[in-house]
A and B are shown apart, each in its own frame.
Chain A
Amino acid sequence: MRALKAFFRSPPAIIGLLLVLAVVVMGLVAPVLYPNDPLGLAGRPLQWPGANPRFPLGTDPSGRDIAAQLFHGARISLLIGFVATSIAVAIGILVGALAGFYGGVTDTVLMRVTEAFQTLPNFLLLLVLVAVFGSTLEVVTVAIGLVSWPPVARLTRAEFLSLRTREFVHAARIQGLPDWHLIFREVLPNALPPVIVYASVVMAVAILLESSLAFLQLSDPNVPSWGNLIGLGRSVLRTEWYVSAIPGVAILLSILGVSLLGQGLNDALNPRLAPR
């Protein structure tokens, strides 16, 4: 309750929540507002925003409705962001929990692997994965999850290291409870809040990675993606710059929303910042 109150007293947190809600609503109403294929031909190409009342945000170089792509793109960004973040958080928690709980050789081996992933530039690894497995929506989503887990693992490990020697864990161990119970039922619930807050950072990065990949035309070309539209706009950048400009604003506002929301949650859940 206190955390909820603290959250709603912070204007940036509310702005973040509203931005994220706006993107979610955009994704939800997309099929209602634009029931036709957003990648289908809609009208004369390269009509400026406002020039034709049928296309409030104009049309792209192939004569597709930019507004329709924007609304449908919200679904893709959210879908990829959410699924990739879930994958990254799941792997990160598993690796971090095992490393932190068992220590010793398990810890050394798992942390070496984590280090290897962190030494390799994650966008480069993403390129390699896409080069090897193709660029369908599924591959791109899983690949983004696969390159994003190391910070989550480190955070979880740090939490586990400080929690595993607490009395309640000893008490549970003396009761003869198995390790998986200690890890998942005793320690993990206590380690979870900072990890969940950090998930907002992972989600922001995931959205950014997907749009970068789509911008390079290396993501799935058969789904409407904001990054894809920005890439298509490059060919007409000198004159019809609005094609690239509009989806960029959408990406900016989504990432801003997700980060503000995460920061708001962090401030609200952090007991050190609570009013004394």
Chain B
Amino acid sequence: MRVLALAGRRLAASLPTLLLILVGMFLLLQLAPGDTVDALMAQMGGGDAALAQELRRFYGLDLSVAERLGRYLLRLVTLDLGFSAIYGKPVATVILERLPATLLLMVAALSFAFFLGLVLGVLAARRVNRWPDTLISTLGLLFYATPSFWFGLMAIVLFSVHLQWFPAGGFYEVGSGLTGLALTLDIAMHLVLPTLTLGLIFLAIYLRIMRASMLEVLSLDFVRTARAKGLTETRIVTRHVLRNAMLPMVTLIGLQAGTMLGGSVVVETVFALPGLGRLAYESVVQRDLNTLLGIVFVSALLVIAINFLVDLLYAKLDPRIVSGG
């Protein structure tokens, strides 16, 4: 219960941040050339000034900036994100349609990066400065420097075009009529390459942090005590060191949540995944500013939610945080 209260306080503290983002973004988008009505009229193939004025009044665009900002924030409270002139649907609907693919991709990439990074980091720390460590650390450096979109393209060339192991893009086989388990498997196959692509840089970061953190914890007194008790090295690592060494990794999940969402813009574009990131890219190209603003809002909510979960997990791993000791 105290864990929840603590995490809840952190959650409440992020409300002013959210407000700051929304007001900042709203004002920033006022500077954009052209508004929704311009985009709409361009789609209709033009129209006269009277119609434009009529439409502006209809969308409330004839009011002052301050009034529109107030209305926008009020509507947000009811989760009304406005209307997308390009897609012809409410922005909230458009975003909800695109959210599952992004969430699935993020969870998959995060799990891949976290667990492989954990294992590789432990392996490197156990063999510090010998060849497994050198190999793993070098791989980490290379992964860190690899641009994800380039890695994705090369993975398509190798695994989709030449080896034909995985599909080159899309979320599932359109028109195959698959259901149930077969559909799940199909989606999983489509997500393998995007997951590797998005997770690569995070794998590099996690394995480096895990290695450093393991080395630090291994040098602490309680590990010497455990050794003196005659515990095996494996037991020391799994029961005593791992839990402590994982703390910085968990912190990193929260810090990197935004970066990962940003990375999904590029990865979803490479693999033609119908996700939030690709939607962001499309709304920039199509100048659909309402949708863009909605995506910013949802992304910020997502980052805050992830940090809330990280706080809970953190308190679970380290009881000292809750007891304030």
Decide if A133 touches B281 in the complex (CB within 8 Å). Answer: no
Cα–Cα, bound, A253→B144 (Å): 11
Q: Mark B177-204, 1 if CB is under 8 A from A, else 0.
A: 0000000000000000000000000000
Decide if A252 touches B17 in the complex (CB within 8 Å). Answer: no
Given contacts A127-B265, A237-B153, contact A255 B21 (CB under 8 A): no
Decide if B153 touches A230 in the complex (CB within 8 Å). Answer: yes
Contact of B29 among A115, A132, A253, A255 (CB under 8 A): A132
Given contacts A132-B28, A230-B149, contact A124 B263 (CB under 8 A): no
Chain A interface category by residue count: 35 or more
Contact of B31 among A132, A208, A230, A244 (CB under 8 A): A132
A121 to chain B, nearest CB (A): 4
Interface status of B253 (Cβ within 8 A of chain A): no
A75 to chain B, nearest CB (A): 18
Contact of A215 among B149, B255, B280 (CB under 8 A): B149
For A132, the chain B residues whose CB sits under 8 A away are 28-29, 31-32
Interface status of B213 (Cβ within 8 A of chain A): no
Most buried by A among B16, B147, B148, B295: B147
Given contacts A119-B303, A120-B21, A131-B284, contact A204 B259 (CB under 8 A): no
Contact of A112 among B16, B142, B260 (CB under 8 A): B16
- The DSSP consensus for interface residues of chain B is helix
Contact of B262 among A124, A218, A237 (CB under 8 A): A124
A143 to chain B, nearest CB (A): 11
Decide if A252 touches B32 in the complex (CB within 8 Å). Answer: no
Decide if B20 touches A208 in the complex (CB within 8 Å). Answer: no
Decide if B258 touches A120 in the complex (CB within 8 Å). Answer: yes
Cα–Cα, bound, A168→B20 (Å): 38
Decide if B147 touches A251 in the complex (CB within 8 Å). Answer: yes
Decide if B146 touches A252 in the complex (CB within 8 Å). Answer: yes
Interface status of A8 (Cβ within 8 A of chain B): no
A215 to chain B, nearest CB (A): 5
Count of A-B contacts with CB under 8 A? 143
Contact of A121 among B18, B154, B261 (CB under 8 A): B261
Decide if B265 touches A123 in the complex (CB within 8 Å). Answer: yes
A127 to chain B, nearest CB (A): 5
* Interface positions of A from 237 to 276, Cβ below 8 Å from B: 237-238, 241, 244-245, 248, 251-253, 255-256, 259-260
A261 to chain B, nearest CB (A): 12
B218 to chain A, nearest CB (A): 17
Interface status of B287 (Cβ within 8 A of chain A): yes
For A124, the chain B residues whose CB sits under 8 A away are 261-262, 265, 280, 295-296, 299
Chain B interface category by residue count: 35 or more
Interface status of A172 (Cβ within 8 A of chain B): no
For B300, the chain A residues whose CB sits under 8 A away are 119-120
Interface status of A33 (Cβ within 8 A of chain B): no
Decide if A252 touches B147 in the complex (CB within 8 Å). Answer: yes
Chain B: CB-nearest residue to A208? B147
Chain A: CB-nearest residue to B150? A248
For B17, the chain A residues whose CB sits under 8 A away are 112, 115-116, 119
Decide if A234 touches B258 in the complex (CB within 8 Å). Answer: no
Decide if A256 touches B142 in the complex (CB within 8 Å). Answer: yes
Decide if B281 touches A122 in the complex (CB within 8 Å). Answer: no
Most buried by B among A115, A245, A253, A259: A115
Most buried by A among B153, B266, B283, B304: B153
Given contacts A121-B259, A121-B303, A216-B269, contact A113 B20 (CB under 8 A): yes
B141 to chain A, nearest CB (A): 7
For A244, the chain B residues whose CB sits under 8 A away are 150, 153-154
Cα–Cα, bound, A230→B147 (Å): 11
Interface status of A211 (Cβ within 8 A of chain B): yes
For B149, the chain A residues whose CB sits under 8 A away are 211-212, 215, 227, 230
Decide if B145 touches A215 in the complex (CB within 8 Å). Answer: no
For B317, the chain A residues whose CB sits under 8 A away are none
Interface status of A118 (Cβ within 8 A of chain B): yes
Chain A: CB-nearest residue to B303? A119
For B161, the chain A residues whose CB sits under 8 A away are 237-238, 241
Decide if B21 touches A123 in the complex (CB within 8 Å). Answer: no
B273 to chain A, nearest CB (A): 14
Interface status of B289 (Cβ within 8 A of chain A): yes
Chain B: CB-nearest residue to A251? B147
A162 to chain B, nearest CB (A): 20
Decide if A119 touches B304 in the complex (CB within 8 Å). Answer: yes
Q: Mark B14-31, 1 if CB is under 8 A from A, else 0.
A: 101110110011001101
Given contacts A124-B295, A238-B161, contact A119 B21 (CB under 8 A): yes
Interface status of B65 (Cβ within 8 A of chain A): no
Which 5 pairs between the two chains have the least Cβ-Cβ distance? Answer: A123-B262, A248-B150, A121-B262, A256-B145, A255-B145
Q: Which residues of A line the B interface, CB within 8 A?
A: 12, 112-113, 115-116, 118-133, 204, 208, 211-212, 215-216, 218, 227, 230, 233-234, 237-238, 241, 244-245, 248, 251-253, 255-256, 259-260
- Mind listing 6 A-B residue pairs with CB under 8 Å? A121-B299, A127-B292, A131-B283, A218-B284, A245-B150, A255-B147
For the complex with contacts A121-B303, A131-B284, A216-B269, 13 further pairs of A-B residues with Cβ separation under 8 Å are A115-B14, A119-B18, A123-B259, A123-B262, A123-B265, A128-B284, A129-B28, A132-B28, A211-B149, A215-B149, A216-B266, A218-B285, A241-B161
